[in-house]
Amino acid sequence: RVLSYEAALLVDTSERHPDPEVRAQADQQLGILTPIIKALLTEMAVECTYHGVQTLGGHGYIAEWGQEQLARDARITTIYEGTTQIQALDLLGRKVMGGKGQALASLIEGVQRHCAAAHDHEPLKAAAARLQEIAEDWAALTQETAKRAMANADEIGAAAVDYLFLCGYIMVADALLRSATVAQQAHIDADTRAAKQALLNFYIDRILPRVGQHAASIRAGGHSLTDLPDALFGTA
């Protein structure tokens, strides 16, 4: 929800802010966030409803419970949003590479600022340090991918989906870290603070490590997608 609200705020800023430069910056940032939000949140909805079906076992598969309806409704969203793969190509090919990495650099700088702010709070130091490390590698990985793409344009298509998920998982971590940081304020009740921190810790420990898998796939390059000749597909 935080990412969706942020996108809505960027829409308003890009259309209504009196300063043309601020409008342009908001529009640029919105261009980066839109494919991430469209694809990642719908894919995560599919994953969540899948686990809902699994939790109920066979009963989760039949109509009487209603869980199968949720699963089908979530599944179509990854098509409604333009398909995850197209959003991935838009993100990496048009928004990141086409924009010379400027909008992405601004996004990464924002994540790093949020990490620095969270680091002032003892309960959030470990999570902030981990996300800071990942953000630094994100910048390096993007540069590596750009260099490979200059030599072979197919590298963009090979890396795009992994890159989108990597960006998405980082942005969700950033949103949770910001929420937990705000919850450290004195006027926030202790239960809310504890809940925000627990959710952040769960995500950092259990979900964010997926970034490493996607980074490894990207760094492996796209050759394994093209090495097998078409004529040998039936024998592989």
Structure tokens at 118: 């969270």
Answer yes or no: is pLDDT of 236 > 80: no
- Angle at which helices 20-56 and 2-16 pack, to 10 degrees? 160
Cβ-based burial of 56 (10 A; exposed 0-12, middle 13-18, buried ≥19): middle
Which alpha helices (H) appear in 91-189, and where do they start and end?
102-118, 125-151, 154-182
**Cα(100)–Cα(184) distance, integer angstroms:** 37
Task: Answer for the pair 200, 207: CB distance below 8 angstroms, yes or no.
Answer: no
**Cα(56)–Cα(44) distance, integer angstroms:** 19
pLDDT in tens, 59-112: 999 998 899 999 999 999 999 988 999 999 999 999 999 888 788 999 999 999
Name the more confident of 201 and 234. Answer: 201
Q: pLDDT-based confidence at 184, cuts 50/70/90?
A: very high
Amino acid (1-letter code) at residue 111: V
**Cα(36)–Cα(8) distance, integer angstroms:** 14
- DSSP three-state, residue 58: helix
State the chain's mean pLDDT as an integer: 94
Task: Answer for the pair 201, 193: CB distance below 8 angstroms, yes or no.
Answer: no
